[in-house]
Amino acid sequence: MNEEYGYLEDMKTLFVFYQQILHNEKISFKGEPLSGLQLMGMLETRAIDFSTVIITSVNEGVLPKGKTDNSFIPFDIKKHFKMPTYQEKDAIFSYHFQRLLQRANDVYLVYNTETNSYGSGEKSRFLTRILFENQNIVPYVVGVKNKVNERKPLCIKKTPELQNRLREIFEKEGISASALASYIYNPLTFYEQRVMRVKEQTEIEEIIASNTMGSVVHGVLEDLYKPFEGKFLQENHLEEMEKKILSLLEKYVEKYFPNRNVLLGKNKLIFEVTEHYVKRFLKQERQNLRKGKLKMIATEKEIERTLHIEGVDFSVKIRGIIDRIDEFDGKLRIIDYKTGKVQQSDLNISDFETVISQEKIKAMQILLYAYLYAENTTETEVEAGIFSFKNLSAGLLRIGVGRGRAKQYGVNSENIADFMNSIKEIIAEILNPDIPFVENLNDPFSV
């Protein structure tokens, strides 16, 4: 096939063809019909008696199959016009099952007890009926013990060449909050994607992915707010924005899916839900304007700063893109947009040592943005938070530092200094030649 058509580019393609061919193949069993073991289907046992019967896969959905036939004719119509349904087929198999067991001396009924999300593992109703009839049944459970060798995590040592590559990244290219987050989740992912630049294979999306729609929303909000940078927002400004939502959404969908009409079926619903989220967000903005003055300072602001770390013989560049910087009633706010769901608990910090953890990744990112912008302002205290589009009713979710009543929702220079000490520790760990990149086998994003 490969020589003639040239389709087999890799083993994955070959395996797909192999499975398709295998599903259509049948294997005939051969044996002596008058002696020995007979392998037969249920219907083949009609009018034949056996002294010993072994029936496998006595599970619901297998024996009987139940409602598995696809038909354009609804069940009620079939019943009304006395057409055969799955119920008649189940009744036939029930009869043959009972008849086969009548004259047998020994009967072995085997079923699978392992359950999964599709419901397999439930014993057949035929078997349940026999149990209720108080037959002389001896239950026996067989457990198969498989010795599975635990996979050891991959370990990448930091060779001199790798150390030079890390220096190039941290000194010249700069490190972002998302890059640090990838290291916290899985050092091996950081090594593959950020150091070696091995990207995941891009696949053509049939259904718009959540991260793609997140990029669409970020683009739309940037276009809506960009003209008002340096200005106080008015209600009529928001009215102007609302009129542009639909066209901007279509523009950015076209950007990510050029020359493809993807707004059909489920994608159409995703598009309309996203439009609803943006409209709700602007409605909330209008309510905030009635409570105080809102001044837009910047949107999608690219910022970088240089960081000096003890034990590292070069300066480290930290970079990031802040979704939104504004002032509400004179209070400076550093804001990140999240199209996924974020809770206030995700942004509550008891101490800054806990920030460098998978549970507080979102808090770490927004605090790093606050650090990046701190050099550009004389404000001693700012608010740093997230607008979660799946939790808009909560308003701006702010970083909360401390416990109980002592919790503060403002981020000051002292907080940022404590936080950056933790950031310096994680960067020093990445750059330490004696600490290898060790795979995290419990990475929630690994496949």
Walk along the chain (447 residues) and give the pLDDT tens digit of each residue.
556 655 666 777 777 778 888 877 777 666 666 777 888 888 888 888 888 999 988 888 888 887 766 778 888 898 889 898 888 888 999 999 988 888 888 889 898 887 654 445 688 888 888 888 866 788 888 776 666 667 789 999 999 999 999 999 999 999 999 999 999 999 999 999 999 988 776 666 678 888 899 999 999 999 999 999 999 999 999 999 999 999 999 999 999 888 777 888 888 999 999 999 999 999 999 999 999 999 999 999 999 999 999 989 999 999 999 999 999 999 999 999 999 999 999 999 988 878 888 999 999 999 999 999 988 888 778 999 999 999 999 999 999 988 877 788 888 888 899 999 999 999 999 999 999 999 998 877 665
> Running DSSP on this structure, what letter comes out for residue 61?
T
Domain boundaries, the chain: 30-132, 159-438
Query: What is the per-residue pLDDT for 117?
Result: 47
The upper half-sphere exposure of residue 157, i.e. CA atoms within 13 Å in the direction of its Cβ, equals: 3
Amino acid sitting at position 186: N
Do 259 and 250 meet the contact criterion of CB atoms below 8 Å apart? Answer: no
Cα–Cα nearest to 338, from 299, 295, 396 = 396
Q: Determine the Cα–Cα distance for residues 285 and 52; give it in Å rounded to an integer.
A: 77
Q: Determine the Cα–Cα distance for residues 303 and 321; give it in Å rounded to an integer.
A: 6
| Total-model pTM | 0.68
Cα–Cα nearest to 332, from 300, 374, 282 = 374
Class for the domain spanning 30-132:
alpha beta
Query: What is the per-residue pLDDT for 120?
Result: 56
Whether the link from the prior residue into 64 is cis, omega within 30° of 0, is yes
